[in-house]
């Protein structure tokens, strides 16, 4: 059975502390903060399982910001530094969709359909040194 760690900009919580009500309150805080401060202070919540869920390592939700037109930023990460990291990204202003994604990931270990999500590939691998003189006479 997987356990989870929940991280925010301010605190880290263990599996025993995570529940749907807490996730909902965090999202409400994001919405309120955006309304008051116009999203200048970027908040986030990250759910990290103790093992991969269908190849994913984490789900991250970024608070609404003016640069995202007041929408939540949803991200799901796959891979690692050795193989490269793929981030699937989606924007929504619907808190219910965001909450359902978090609950499904945490409680049911399910991913959403990522078909229409943006994909970004990150690579921390150092390029191999090339010997430009190999094969030349």
Q: With bands split at pLDDT 50, 70 and 90, how would you rate the model's confidence at 74?
A: very high
- The structural domains of the chain, with segments of one domain joined by +, span 4-122
Q: Please tell me the predicted confidence (pLDDT) of residue 137.
A: 38
Q: Please tell me the predicted confidence (pLDDT) of residue 36.
A: 55
pLDDT, tens digit (0-9, with 9 covering 90-100), for 21-63? 999 998 988 877 765 555 455 688 999 999 999 999 999 998 8
Whose CA is closest to 83, among 117, 115, 128, 121? 121
CA angle 123, 74, 96 (to 5 degrees): 165
pTM of the model: 0.81
Q: Please tell me the predicted confidence (pLDDT) of residue 42.
A: 63
Give the residue-averaged pLDDT of 94-106: 96
Task: Give bridge partners of residue 86 from the DSSP assignment.
Answer: 78, 121
Q: Please tell me the predicted confidence (pLDDT) of residue 121.
A: 86
């Amino acid at each position: 059975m997987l356990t989870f760690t929940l991280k925010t900009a301010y605190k880290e919580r263990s599996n025993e502390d995570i529940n749907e009500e807490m996730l909902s309150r965090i999202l409400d805080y994001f919405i309120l903060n955006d309304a008051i401060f116009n999203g200048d202070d970027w908040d986030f919540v990250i759910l990290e399982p103790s093992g991969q869920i269908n190849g994913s390592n984490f789900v991250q939700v970024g608070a609404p910001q003016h640069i995202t037109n007041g929408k939540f930023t949803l991200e799901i990460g796959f891979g690692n530094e050795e193989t490269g990291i793929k981030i699937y990204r989606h924007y929504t202003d619907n808190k219910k969709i965001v909450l359902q994604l978090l609950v499904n990931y945490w409680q049911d270990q399910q991913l959403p359909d990522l078909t229409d999500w943006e994909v970004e590939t990150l690579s921390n691998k150092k390029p191999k040194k090339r010997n430009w003189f190999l094969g030349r006479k």
